Amino acid sequence: MIDILIPTRDRPVELATTLAGLAAQTEAFDVIVSDQSGGSDGFDGSASFDTPSAEAMARVLRTQGRRVEFLRHLPRRGLAEQRAFLLERSSAPLVLFLDDDVWLTPGVVTRLRTALRSLRCGLVGAAVQGLSYLDDERPHQTACFEEWPGPPCPEQVTPDSPAWARASLHLAANLCHIERRLALRPGEWRAYKIAWVGGCVLFDRAKLVDSGGFDFWPSLPAEHVGEDVAAQLRVMARYGGAGIIPSGAIHLEAPTTMPVREVDAPKVLPPAQLYPA
């Protein structure tokens, strides 16, 4: 039913932690990891999955009946191409793109699948939360929180649109503070309006492919960011999308492996590529 797709690079400890979170899920899924660890050409370093911890977690997942595929995908052509490669390797009707520095609390995958089935949109996301910010409440960043009253409607969100301000909802531990105010019952979840979601996004695969997926990757240099945002904007423009609260996706708060951030995909791609007809 679900393929969980994990792009990784130079994060052996974080990847093993991410896999440990998956081992605690009860949903049926398979896992595909695409590793681009190493130097500029990618061939002079060890794979992030080539560690006792990652292998141990893979064995746990396999004993649970899940397929785990570790792949080396080289040379590096950028994260958009890496995600396009993972999408091509998948075959399930639902694909969960999960970053390699995210630990999921038990039940997150099931909640995402339930929400996507209920909302019948193109994507639902569990925004990652940095728990080191639990005591840092930011009302000015959460004032734009707005629930979807029903299934999400298609909407064209652009970096210069008012809806882009919703990105602040996912900073620090903002969703944890919103969740506390909502006083949700056990098992209850709410769908809310987003600009985009980082780190943990479940797509209807057919709708992602119909929206173009990551086929814009040749237009970007190898060093870029925002490729996940660009793909989400495409899907939301055609099919709608939502964030889900509670999130349950915990950011490990590790240093970024993408320090060069001058090229931000949704801000440099032309509208014809970002929102194909």
Q: What is the pLDDT of residues 179-212, one digit of tens each?
A: 999 999 999 999 999 999 999 999 999 999 999 9
pTM confidence score: 0.96
Q: Distance between the two ends of the chain, CA-based, in angstroms?
A: 29
Q: Kindly tell me the sign of the dihedral angle through the C-alpha atoms of 53, 58, 61, 63.
A: negative
Report which secondary-structure segment, H or E, holds 71: strand 68-72
Say which residues have a Cβ less than 8 Å from residue 162's Cβ, sequence separation at least 6: none
80-129 pLDDT, tens digit each: 999 999 999 999 999 999 999 999 999 999 999 999 999 999 999 999 99
∠ CA 147-149-155, nearest 5°, is: 75
